Structure 1
Amino acid sequence: MKKVLSILLVMVLMMGLLSGCANKPATETEQPGGTKIGLVVSTLNNPFFVTLKEGAEAKAKELGAELIVLDSQNDPAKELANLEDLITKKVSVILVNPTDSDAVGSAIKLANDAKIPVITLDRGANAGEVVTHIASDNVAGGKMAGEFIIEKLGGAGKAVELEGIAGTSAARDRGQGFNDAIKGSSIEVVAKQTADFDRTKGLTVMENILQAQPEINAVFAHNDEMALGALKAIEASGRDILVVGFDATDDAVKSVEEGKLAATVAQQPDQIGALGVEMADKVLKGETVDTFIPVDLKLVTK
């Protein structure tokens, strides 16, 4: 009898163990994992790139992807370290908004060696292999600004050009478009200086130019931050000078509506960020994407 009871007890225990295994929840490795995408931004101290980041974050959430955002603080060395960090984290795709179109090449080559696809946003890269570049047509935007100034000045006058960070494709292309536009007119560029896409530097550089140039009719700044800095210097001087910016940040659009800034070329940074994540998703699915994906521009005036 004892032997029978022992056998029955063993059978009950075995049935309990089997039941426990059947009801055991799936482990983490058995759960489907989301896509991991890295985003390296040139600086988050600029409203334009903050909006770009937010657009990327919204699209990543929509697609169920994990987005790791790193700030290069306008430092190519920090940018290189950021890409190395993402490679170590084994991200599936890297989106990069370069601090410098030349310097970023070394960082991109590291990702190429690690077989991680790279997509550039807003600013291009002069070296390394990139799957696609997503940006506004900066040459067309610069031309748009130049044509507006020609129209407002009646085809003749003296202009100042505030340039962005030397070496960036955005500064080069916006400057090219502007100078191509005014080439056939009687607009003379009396001063051309770098202010690094920065509002404070735009203010300081413009103050110096105002002291050196007795006659200025218009200013074209490669971005709104410099335009707003220049505008502050001009207002303090009491002179009447037309100022055109680029990016259509909230502060710039408000200034246009108030009749202070004459115009700004509107980009869609949120769309650039969103398209970056969308293209990353397509690349990972094996789909073909265009080597350049343009984002529409328009001129914002009062």
Structure 2
Amino acid sequence: MKKVKLALIMAIILVLAACSTEAPGTKKDGESKGGEGDYKIGFSISTLNNPFFVTLSEGAKAQAKEMGANLTVIDAQDDAAKQASDVEDLIQQGVDLILINPTDSSAVVAAVESANSAGIPVITVDRSSEGGDVVSHIASDNKAGGELAGQYLVDLVGEGAKVVELEGIAGSSAARDRGTGFNEIANGKLDIVAKQTANFNRAEGLTVMENILQANPDIKGVFTHNDEMALGALEAIEAAGKDVKVVGFDATDDAVKSVEAGKLAGTVAQKPELIGEKAVEAAVQSLKGETVETSIPVELELIKK
């Protein structure tokens, strides 16, 4: 009987020993690095004072939640120096990957290179970086969008008509590419009597348009590099009692409502929510070691009544 009891005790000891062979600090299944919930992604966004980027940010947050990733969004407030500082903060926090929506495509290069030096991969969103190593760039084809807007404006006002171009922030790839596309269509077909930046800002769009109207009272059309400037310009035009066709870019909620109301002539939709979703999706895929395309386009659409 004693031998049976001893054998039973020895068997219990062996079972307990087998259950405790896991090395100290070893994580259980689903806790190891590589589980999507462990990924820390930083997102430096140019501004959250613009409905387009608010929607883009919301799309990114929703996708991060769905994929179980931890996303930190920081507002650069359209300040290139602040964006550089924000990226440094994200590096110090030890994030696994940084999404950057540049305020300035040239100024952001130093921040991208800092992340590169720290071994942190970077993905650019909506606007590109002119330097540094970037895993992928997620954006609509802004040049194609500018061409789309240009052709639509030609159709609206007719060849030879006097038009105005309100430009975005100087140095941003979005402003450059949209302007390039628009001018490739407009040159030789439209008389561009004024080009001036309003920095993607509605209030500036209003002020700049007021000044342009005083010098050019007979303009027939306006192309703006984003909807905020378009809505500001439209306000100035309506106050002056003019009939001028305005085409914007981004298809923000306010702009689409204006199109439906017959005020804004049209806007190029580049689907910011989808851009945000694709950015986070690409980030997680990259962190998991999966192949990510170096350029991920998001389709465009012309919104008109």
Alignment TM-score, normalising by the size of structure 2:
0.89
**Pairing partner for 1:134 from 117, 131, 138:** 138
User: Counterpart of 2:211?
Assistant: 208
3-state SS in 2 of match to 1:265: strand
Between 1:130-139 and 1:151-160, the stretch displaced more is 151-160
Q: Where in structure 1 do 4 or more consecutive aligned residues deviate above 2 Å?
A: 26-33
**Pairing partner for 1:292 from 285, 295, 303:** 295
Which amino acid counterpart does residue 52 of structure 2 have in structure 1?
F
Give the distance between the partners of 2:217 and 2:278, measured in 1 at CA: 45
Structure 1 residues 28 and 195 mapped into 2: Cα distance closer, same or farther (>3 Å)?
farther
**Pairing partner for 1:45 from 30, 36, 49:** 49
Deviation per CA, 1:127-164, whole angstroms, max 9, x where unpaired? 11111100000000000000001111222200000000
3-state SS in 1 of match to 2:166: strand
Give the distance between the partners of 2:181 and 2:302, measured in 1 at CA: 14
1:189 aligns with 2:192: yes
User: Counterpart of 1:239?
Assistant: 242
Deviation per CA, 1:90-140, whole angstroms, max 9, x where unpaired? 111100000000000000000000010000000000011111100000000
User: Counterpart of 1:6?
Assistant: none
3-state SS in 2 of match to 1:156: coil
Which amino acid counterpart does residue 74 of structure 2 have in structure 1?
L
3-state SS in 1 of match to 2:249: strand
User: Counterpart of 1:301?
Assistant: 304
User: Counterpart of 2:114?
Assistant: 110
How far apart are 1:288 and its partner, in Å? 1.6
Deviation per CA, 1:211-246, whole angstroms, max 9, x where unpaired? 111210000000000000000000000011000000
User: Counterpart of 2:95?
Assistant: 91
3-state SS in 2 of match to 1:90: coil
1:274 aligns with 2:277: yes
Give the distance between the partners of 1:28 and 1:188, measured in 2 at CA: 69
3-state SS in 2 of match to 1:264: strand
**Pairing partner for 1:259 from 244, 257, 262:** 262
Which amino acid counterpart does residue 154 of structure 1 have in structure 2?
G
**What is the aligned length?**
282
Structure 1 residues 29 and 151 mapped into 2: Cα distance closer, same or farther (>3 Å)?
same
Give the distance between the partners of 2:158 and 2:193, measured in 1 at CA: 17
Instruction: Note the residue ranges of structure 2 that are not aligned, 5 or more in a row.
Output: 1-12
3-state SS in 2 of match to 1:39: strand
Deviation per CA, 1:174-225, whole angstroms, max 9, x where unpaired? 000000011242x100000000000000000000000111210000000000
1:13-162 alignment runs, 5 A limit: 31-32=31-32, 34-162=38-166
3-state SS in 2 of match to 1:207: helix
User: Counterpart of 2:229?
Assistant: 226
3-state SS in 1 of match to 2:149: helix
Give the distance between the partners of 2:192 and 2:273, measured in 1 at CA: 33
Give the distance between the partners of 1:211 and 1:294, measured in 2 at CA: 40
- Percent identity, aligned pairs only, is 62
Deviation per CA, 1:51-104, whole angstroms, max 9, x where unpaired? 111111111011100001101000111101111111111111100000000000
Instruction: Note the residue ranges of structure 1 that are not aligned, 5 or more in a row.
Output: 1-14
Structure 1 residues 153 and 128 mapped into 2: Cα distance closer, same or farther (>3 Å)?
same
Which amino acid counterpart does residue 55 of structure 2 have in structure 1?
T
Structure 1 residues 240 and 94 mapped into 2: Cα distance closer, same or farther (>3 Å)?
same
Alignment TM-score, normalising by the size of structure 1:
0.90
